[in-house]
Amino acid sequence: MAQASLTNPTDMRARLFGAGSFKYWSVAPLLIILVIFTALPIIQLLQMSVSELEFIEGELVSEFIGLGQLDNLAKDPIAGIAIKNTLVFVVAVVLIETFTGFALAVAISRTRTFSIVYRSVVIIPLLIPPVAIGTMWSLIYDYNYGLITTILIELGVQYLPLWTADPDLALISVIIVDVWHWTSFMFLIMLAGIESIPPSLLEAARVDGANEFRMIRHVILPMMAPTILVAMLLRTILAFKVFDQIFVLTSGGPGTATQVISMHIYKVFSEQFRLGYAAFLSLLVAAFMTVFVVFYFWASRVVRRRLG
Amino acid sequence: MRQKTLHKIILNLALLVVVFIILFPVFYIVQTSLKSTADIYSGTFFFTARTKNYEEIFTGSRSNFAELTRNSLVVSSAVAIICGGIGSLAAYSVSRLNWPRWVTGGILVWLLFINMMPPIVFVTPYYLWARAAGIYDTPAAVVMAHVVLNMPLAVIMMMNFFAEVPKELEEAAVIDGCTQWQAFSRVIVPIVRPGLAAMAVLVFVFSWKEFLFALSLTTTSAGRTIPVGIANFVQEFNIRYGEMAAGSFVAMIPALILVLLAQRHIIKGLTVGAIKG
Amino acid sequence: MNKRIGNFSRRDFLKAIGALSAGLAANPLLNSSIRTLAQDVMSQPPITILINDSPWFPGFAAMVELYTEITGNEINLDVTPFPGMLDKTRNATQAGESEYDAVAITEQNIPFFYKSGLLKPILEIDADYTLDENIISYGDAARWDSDLGVNGPNGTILGVPINGNIQLYYYRRDLFEEAGFEAPKTFDEMEAIAEHFANPPRMFGNANRANPIWWEFGAYIDSYDAEYVRLEDDGSWSVGFERPEGLEAVQRWLTLGRTWAPQNYADLGQADLLALMASGRLAQVHMVGAAAPNYDNPEISIVGGNMGATVVPGVTAEARSPRTGMWVMCHPDNLPDERAAAGLEFVKWLTTKDNQLAYAKAGAIPVRQDTYEELATDEVVGWWTSAFAESTPFLHPETRLPETPLIRDSVSTRMAQAYVDEISAEEAVSLMASEIRTVMEDAGYSVS
């Protein structure tokens, strides 16, 4: 069967309709979608990244420049700063949200009576469009008429933080909003992970007299490790692409304190219409993401090997 | 026993604090939705609550929130169902059905690559396709884009959950005379239902929030979704906070109800007929 | 006949796929097969206009309704948030046939679209069209001189102004009268006024927009005669930051922007400036003219009836240089003639004097000098329409080059850094000078 020749009609029919056919048609819809909807844009993107494109008399003309985009990168006043800020942002939010998401998932998995309330509440931040999140938080942070300032003045506090207007606080302010917004993402995946742990395992540990902390440390955490890593991987890629939320909240300021690379790519692509350079930057960022992804896969293999 | 009760109280108290932190900005949204812009600018706690912003988004001359909400619900549900179905089938196939490593690896790399690209690179091709296929300015166009964009999340998440399922289960099922499809649908899926539910909810949520394609592939409220309507309130120098807050709040409720119902349904419904693990 | 898949034929589909796999020749994004693919998509719809959802939109929408009522011609509007306009226009002009019969293009995107060849010259739609001389020129915003590669009086008409937005200087007339101040004409006077009124946190003397520092700063740099780039008589381009006045302009901006402003001056956007002024906490502000009607709206503002407006001050009264930030209406090149003509018909109707009067009263920003002059004594809008009329001789458009977005990137980044002392004003100026020079030289301009 494995050696079945493609030209043999009987084998072909067996593959498509026989007992083993499930293997093929189960993956077929995905492949069809990938080929039809993503093959062309990906080829275009790769081609653009080594070209310079321009509209001349209504036609988009492309000129091959090889690695010429490296020159543009060297001249770019923002890309370096933006990549640095993005890396800080990504590492901070992924680590914080992994912790908060895990803690919440463990805690809520222990509740019964109010479980449904907690679960609903936690989903809410995910249902608000990022534009609205950015706008509402800029209203909350605003120094002149914002919520926090108003409360602090009522409380008689003398020192009023500037939040998004303070170059030292701006990135932290943005991270706070992100943690509020995206912890739920980690929570949902991790809760599913906890619920997938066979109850018999937890029972066994409990019978052995393990306390809560030991249960988490020695049963839940190791069982959950692969799921946690997948959640971190997905979240890392998402965090690299953070856009609307920061765009509305700070537009990258003050100074260059909250410039992130996705905002810069958008500007290069859309406003400056340097398609080639934007494609090149996208691939560059993908290379950074790949470092993280490779790490997660390596960690995941180590963990699975330990688990046996 | 007493210690257990104490634990429970502490746990619930801690969660109450978390609930408060999460809901605080949401309360603020509700409060803002009841204010006039002048009251928002003055930053006062004391104001006369009014429902004008809500009236504006539903009955104003340019209001289309009812249509936008309907589109959003249709699009996000469709995307969740399509991604859930195709994604989990494919995830099962590549993680369990002995594909050569280059196939599994190739699909994974492909999915990761799409996920890593800034979505804007897909905008122009999808626009041209939607126009060519005659689905421009319909929810179908938005569904098309969202399905593609969310496929990586769906497949990668489910691959993880399928990997956790012990191999012996499906082997036992096949020995019992199940076809592979039956083993998948009756044995494996029920086991991963928490993961499936989480994946469907996340895909729903991502489609619900998405702005770029919902804007680029539509012209009118025939195809647009809520984030586009919300973005129209954020104008260069005049941000219509009140209406934006009202819109965000109103839109949140049907989605929340739908998500909770779906979650329950997936977890309960799939339990029925499951072979006990 | 080919089998139809949806609305396009299988043959076209295969052709498209074939074109992709064939390595995409020279032209990956705008694939000619995709162009033909979309050719038979749209039946002839009533006119559709792409318009941005800006605060002046209701005025535009009112005129559209009026047009339909009067002429019976139906108009559909694609009302799009500002950040989506550029991409939607670009997409539409790349399809087989544009979905829009007319598109609104903001001033900063003029160079890209005018140069690209994606727009239909107005005279090709209507050979008899002439730009009424009462329509303000805004630095020849309607015309593109392809020899110079910039707007010019001898260029081809590619768009018609439909929104005459410019910068204004706003002040609290009531407070100024009380304190015996005249509306200022120079930056020095502005500083004296700011100093007088500053009483934080209840009242701030002045505040400037920081997100981003570009458009309003243009009025400073132009007034100091240090335009970002300028075409000299000998045909070469000069870089303003290489002149000593460039640094003076930067320092003036930093002083006026930071000294009498709220502490969060580094994070102020246009909406914040409006909020500060509308809530009575700002004595004067230099900002977008289209915001004027907001100050009379009791929903938003508590200072209605107490506002004054005039020309944005400069180094001297003569050197005042308010920037323009207007919109033109254009017609994509990929339109059949009758659709483009139908689109132009509306634009012609909209820009007549009488209709511009109605336009202003409905809350939009007219483009005609005679309209502004006639409205200058109007009880409701007179306080700002008179300032628009007064500003016309001083208007300075941005140098509209296809490279301007790159110059903007440099200026807004370096100025933002200088604003929060990430770098010094001197460093900012020398970085901007060298970055702008590189941009110009790379693009092949001769730079003096």
Structural domains of chain C, with CATH: 43-164+325-376 (3.40.190.10), 167-323+403-442 (3.40.190.10)
Per-residue pLDDT reduced to its tens digit, C220-272:
999 999 999 999 999 999 999 999 999 999 999 999 999 999 999 999 999 99
- Measured over the CA atoms of residue C239, residue C240, residue C244 and residue C246, the dihedral's sign is negative
Q: From CA A304, how far away is CA A67, in angstroms rounded?
A: 40
How far apart are the CA of B227 and the nearest CA of chain A, in angstroms? Answer: 6
Among chain B residues, the shortest Cα distance to C57 is held by B235
CA–CA min distance A104, chain C (Å): 34
Give per-residue pLDDT as tens, B26-83.
999 999 999 988 888 887 777 888 888 998 888 766 668 889 999 999 999 999 999 9
Which of A125, A188, A270 minimises the CB distance to B198?
Answer: A188
Q: What is the pLDDT of residue C15?
A: 42
What distance in Å separates residue B25's CA from the closest CA in chain A?
A: 8
Q: Using 50, 70 and 90 to split pLDDT, how confident is the model at C7?
A: very low
- How large is the ipTM? 0.92
Interchain pair B43, A144: CB under 8 A: yes
What is the model's pTM?
0.91
Q: Any CB–CB contact under 8 A between A33 and chain B?
A: yes
- CB contacts of B37 in chain C (<8 Å) are 299-300
Return the pLDDT at C18. Answer: 39
Dihedral sign for Cα atoms in the order A181, A185, A186, A188 = positive
pLDDT reported for residue C204: 97
Q: Give the number of other Cβ atoms within 10 Å of residue B48's Cβ.
A: 8
Instruction: Grade residue B116 by pLDDT with cuts at 50, 70 and 90.
Output: very high
Chains B & C: contacts with CB separation below 8 Å: 113
Taking CB atoms and an 8 Å limit, are A196 and B192 in contact across chains?
Answer: yes
Domains of chain A: 9-67 (no CATH), 70-307 (1.10.3720.10)
What pLDDT shows up at residue C423? Answer: 96
Chain-chain contact of C270 with B236 (C-beta, under 8 angstroms):
yes
CA atoms within 13 A on the CB side of C302: 13
C63 half-sphere exposure, CB direction, 13 A CA radius: 28
What CA–CA distance (Å, rounded) separates A22 from A118?
Answer: 40
Q: Which one of C112, C117, C419 has the shortest CB-CB distance to A255?
A: C419
Among A residues 151-210, those touching chain B with beta carbons less than 8 Å apart: 154, 180, 185, 188-189, 191-193, 195-196, 198
**C281-307 confidence digits (pLDDT tens):** 999 999 999 999 999 999 899 999 999
Residues A140, B32: contact at Cβ < 8 Å?
Answer: no
- Give B-chain residues touching A129 at CB under 8 angstroms: 209, 211, 226-227, 230-231, 248, 251
> How far is it, in rounded angstroms, from Cα C243 to Cα B170?
78
Size of interface A-B (CB pairs under 8 A): 247
Q: C236 to chain B, minimum CA–CA distance in Å?
A: 35
How confident is the prediction for chain C on average, in pLDDT?
Answer: 89
Chains in touch with B (3+ beta-carbon pairs under 8 Å) read: A, C
The answer on pLDDT for C414 being more than 90 is: yes
Summarised one tens digit per residue, pLDDT across range C10-47 is 344 334 333 333 333 333 333 333 333 333 323 335 89
What average pLDDT does this structure show over C360-377? 93
By three-state DSSP, how is residue C285 classified? strand
Give per-residue pLDDT as tens, A48-77: 999 999 998 888 999 999 899 999 999 998
Task: Among C12, C80, C275, select the one facing B215 at the smallest CB separation.
Answer: C80
The Cα–Cα gap between B101 and B143 comes to 31
Question: From the CA of B61, how many Å to the nearest CA of chain A?
Answer: 22
d(CA B265, CA B257): 12
The shortest C-alpha distance from B30 to chain C (Å) reads 18
Does residue A295 sit at the B interface (CB-CB below 8 Å)? no
Of A44, A59, A164, the CB nearest to C24: A44
- pLDDT given for residue B234 in this prediction: 87
- Is residue A266 within 8 angstroms of chain B, CB to CB? yes
Which residue matches tokens 């004595």?
C283
Distance of CA C342 to the CA centre of its chain: 25
**In the predicted structure, residue A261 carries a pLDDT above the cut 90:** yes
Rounded CA-CA distance B247/B33 in Å is 8
User: Cα–Cα distance between C241 and B103 in angstroms, integer?
Assistant: 57
Does the beta-carbon distance from A47 to C24 stay under 8 Å? yes
User: Exposure pattern of A190-224 as b/e (b: 16+ CB <10 Å)?
Assistant: bbbbbbbbeeeebeebeeeebeeeebeeebbeebb
- Residues of chain C in contact with residue B132, where contact means CB-CB under 8 angstroms, are 7-8, 12, 34, 37-38, 41, 96
| Average pLDDT along chain B | 89
Residue C262 contacts A, CB cutoff 8 Å = yes
CA dist A213 and C136 (Å) reads 75
A144/C416 CB distance under 8 A: no
Domains of chain B, each with CATH number or no CATH: 60-269 (1.10.3720.10)
CA distance B243 to B71: 19
CA dist C91 and C84 (Å) reads: 11
> Is there a contact between B128 and C94 if contact means CB atoms under 8 Å apart?
yes
Higher pLDDT: B233 or C312? It is C312
Does the structure show a pLDDT above 60 at A6?
A: no
Q: Which residues contact A230 (CB under 8 A, 6 or more apart)?
A: A189, A296, A300, B156, B157, B160
